[in-house]
Amino acid sequence: MPEIMICMNDLKKTYTSMGDEVQALRGVSLDIYKGESLAVMGHSGSGKSTLLSILGGLNPPTSGTIEIDSIDLYALSQEKRADFRREYLGFVFQQFQLIPYLTAIENVMLPLTTTSNSNKVKREMAEGVLCRVGLAGKMNRLPNQLSGGEQERVAIARAIVNEPPVVLADEPTGSLDTKTGDEIMELFQELNQEGLTVLMVTHNPDNTRYMGRTILMKDGQLCTDKAEILQLVSGKKR
């Protein structure tokens, strides 16, 4: 029986907008196992991004609990949660979200900035992951000197440089062409095969081919209708 990495229990999230209450999550319970890769699909407003932000320790749920590696995420103080994110989670944001005035290697070193490692060790770690994602020769370029695919690789390198057990990705191929998107998904697949737990929010059914499991969000809940899921991911390689 694989070890549970992430355990979500009856997560609910309600937003108040202009006096109206919007229920973004209506009781989501889900276990994600160590080394698993999971795609979260769903239409806009289905609650998948809310789920990801709660999972990332950035957005407290209205009720319910979430444990990562048996640590109750929202029992931690805000600052401890920041430390937790640094150690346990890697983020790959939509639109890469690289810092425009830092070079590729400096962007990758960002999560290491607040650690006690020496500058030399930080640089070596960053160089290592940049080589791993195929950017050995472009470390000192600024983001605007890199292609979209290369920027995505820098973003992935930044997410894994501190060797977190879990990587959360939000539409990582959303702004890439198909070929580059496939390359990025292959990279995620490789990282997963190396033991990383990957959770990815995506609109693109093709991406589910590279993920071990796919769940569907609908109206703030997990969709259990297998036919609907199969329809959504039709064309996925078996």
Partner 1 sequence: MQLYHIAINNLRRRKAKMLFVLVGLVIGVATMVSVYGVVETMKTEMTRQVAEFGANVVITPDAGELTFSYGGITLPEVMFDVERLTMDDVAAIASVPSRNMIRAVAPKLLGLASLETGQNLIVVGSNLQQEFMVKPWLRLRDAQEMAETGRRTMVTSDGQEMEFERLDLARQDFEQLSLKDNEILLGSTLAANLGIMEGDRLTLSGQGFHVFGVLKDSGSSEDEQILMNLGAAQAFLGRPHEVTVIELAADYTLGSEDALIAQLRQALPRAEVTSLRQEALRRDEMLTRLSRFGMSVSVLILFVGMLVVGLTMSGAVRERTREIGVFRAIGFRKSHVTKIILMEGAFVSVLGGIIGYIAGTSAARLAGPVLAGMEISVPWRFDLFALAVLLAVVIGLAASIIPARQAARLDPAEALRFI
Q: Would you tell me which residues interact with partner 1 (CB under 8 A)?
A: 49, 52-53, 56, 58-59, 78-79, 82-83, 85-87, 91, 93-94, 97, 99-102, 106, 109-114, 119, 122-123, 126, 158, 162, 168, 170
Record the tokens describing residue 178, joined without a space: 């198909």
CB atoms within 10 A of CB 153: 26
User: Which residues, in sequence order, are bridge partners of residue 48?
Assistant: none
The Cα–Cα gap between 76 and 82 comes to 9
Q: How far is the CB of 1 from partner 1 (least distance, A)?
A: 30
Listing DSSP states for 120-187 in one string gives: HHHHHHHHHHHHHTT-GGGTT--GGGS-HHHHHHHHHHHHHTT--SEEEEESTTTTS-HHHHHHHHHH
The residue among 62 and 209 lying less far from partner 1, judged by its C-beta, is 62
As measured in angstroms, the least distance from the Cβ of 215 to partner 1 is 17
> 125 CB contacts (<8 Å, ≥6 apart)?
109, 112, 117, 161, 162
Smallest separation, CB 89 to partner 1 (Å): 8
In this complex, which beta carbon is closest to partner 1, that of residue 80 or of residue 213? 80
Between 120 and 179, CB nearer to partner 1 = 120
Nearer to partner 1, 121 or 230 (CB): 121
Nearer to partner 1, 8 or 168 (CB): 168
Collapsing DSSP to helix, strand or coil, 51 comes out as: helix
Smallest gap from Cβ 225 to partner 1, in A, equals: 26
Distance CA 215, CA 125 (A): 34
Nearest approach, Cβ of residue 183 and partner 1 (Å): 22
Nearer to partner 1 (CB atom), residue 93 or residue 209 = 93
Which lies closer to partner 1 via its Cβ, residue 115 or residue 209?
A: 115
Q: Quote the tokens at residue 199.
A: 């959770």
Minimum gap (Å) between residue 30 Cβ and partner 1:
17
Residue 43 CB contacts under 8 Å (≥ 6 apart), including other chains? 218
The neighbouring-strand residues paired with 38 are: 199, 213
Q: State in angstroms the smallest separation of the CB of 211 from partner 1.
A: 18
Instruction: Dig out the tokens for 220 from the structure.
Output: 């703030």
